[in-house]
Amino acid sequence: MSDSKRLLKQSMSTPHTRRRFLKTSAAGGAALMAPTLIPASALGQDGAVAPSERIVFGGIGIGNRGSFDLRMLLREPEVQFVALCDPQKGRVEAAKKLVDARYDNHDCQLYHDIRVFLAERNDIDAVLSTTGDRWHALAAIMAMRAGKDVYSEKPSCMTIKEGRAVVETAERYGRIYQTGTQRLSEANFTFANELLRTGKLGKVHTVYAHIAPWDAAEMSYDWRPEEPLPPKEECDWDHWLGPCPWRPYNSEYVKGGWRGFYDFHTSCIGEWGTHTFAQCQVAMGMQNTAALEYGYVNNPYGEGMVTVFENGVKMILTRDMEKKMLKGSCAVRYEGDEGWVTVGDGYEKPEVSSPALLENFDKVVNEYMERTGRPMNHWRNYVDCIKNRKHCVADEKVMHYSMATVHAANICMWLKRDMKYDPKKEEFINDPEANRLCSRAMREPWII
């Protein structure tokens, strides 16, 4: 058996966590221990969390966005980061500085091969995965097979089939999963969703979902010019590419210049639709399905595409902010026969058709938190769910079905025709060409 296959097999085994070891060995160890002075922090006193209650974390692919997520998780008292993995030396060392500064030590261990990382670190309970799009689903699946809970940044899958594989893996291995659609844990967006859910807008007929105002739905199949490979210890190019087809190294890729290329990206629709589609679908109660109909629009971006859900509500894709009365990034607008609400990043409060709709803002948000047990903190929600084993607000199904709508909209744009999709069978109706685009080939050994 090759080393790569051996490591992949090891990473699929369910580990004994450090916490489990502490609990099972406590009784036997106590009889052998002589009386000694134990720090209060080791006993969970003075506001500290006892070691047996800490959640041991590792990080995968911690870059710019990942550094933000890392800082948020480092604030949580139960969280203890012990190891980081990235094929780029500069990135993983920068993330280590954040971790070591938090704990005032130099203990965080570094890895460049995800297979070694998962195979060796049986002490890790959960991972933060903030790789590029191409790695999100595979890294999550490998980590869950290795017994880890997963927080994965978005867009969390490259295809409909990848999303389904994430769902099946989480269910099979009993893992907690959260995708990085953090606006599902923000008060303004939650309030807007609750207005729709509780009927305050009347019968909702149309929702608008903001897509990114850069790049296009039609992505490039070209390669960047070849440059000399860096030393493997500085950047392991094979690991960086992962499941993508092989192509020559170019330093712009590893600096973030992979966006807009088919093999790496989910287009302008996936970039922000990941957030806004999830918002709309959760608000409509359509979080466990995808849109049924997709209307092709003759522009490069998907601007104005109308998608239709089973409940008859139309979700319209837009980046024309002024025309759709949106502002801020990742904005959504819900329109019903008794009123409307609009919200995006940067809003002090949502904009509404009637001031009366805002009168109970705090009450609506507080009642949501009481009803669901979810805080207005996406990272805290993940930590809570690791402990109570309940589904996160943006669990694997919310991720998969909103991303299925993203991918179907992309396929509609690529094939330049209207389409109908069956969310139960997870295939397009009478369209073999579209169905072939529901998956992509993956390069060995980086396969699901």
| CB 339 within 8 Å of CB 200 | yes
The correct answer on CATH 3.30.360 for the domain covering 185-217+265-372+397-436 is yes
| Per-residue pLDDT tens digits for 174-188 | 999 999 999 999 999
Burial environment of residue 109 by CB neighbours within 10 A (0 to 12, 13 to 18, 19 or more): middle
| CB 142 within 8 Å of CB 118 | yes
Could you please report the per-residue DSSP string of 162-204? HHHHHHHHHHHHT--EEES-GGGGSHHHHHHHHHHHTTTT-SE
pLDDT of the residue at 50: 83
pLDDT of the residue at 320: 79
Span between the terminal Cα atoms of the chain, in Å: 18
Helix-strand-coil split of the chain, %, nearest 5: 40, 15, 45
| Per-residue pLDDT tens digits for 229-246 | 999 999 999 999 999 999
Nearest 10 degrees: Cα torsion 109, 156, 253, 238: 60
Q: Map out the domains of the chain as residue ranges.
A: 3-22+42-175, 185-217+265-372+397-436
pLDDT means over runs of 10, the chain (448 residues): 50 44 40 44 60 94 95 98 98 98 97 98 98 97 98 98 98 98 98 97 97 94 96 97 97 95 97 98 98 98 97 95 77 97 95 96 98 98 98 98 98 98 98 98 96
pLDDT of the residue at 322: 67
Q: What is the H or E stretch that residue 92 is in?
A: helix 89-103
Cα three-residue angle 353-183-168, rounded to 5 degrees = 125
**Alpha helices, DSSP H only, in 213-340?**
237-241, 251-254, 267-284
pLDDT of the residue at 438: 98
CATH superfamily of the 3-22+42-175 domain: NAD(P)-binding Rossmann-like Domain (3.40.50.720)
pTM score, two decimals?
0.90
pLDDT of the residue at 326: 75
N residues, the chain: 448
Task: For tokens 């979080």, name the residue.
Answer: 287
CA dihedral for 408, 436, 447, 88, sign (positive or negative): negative
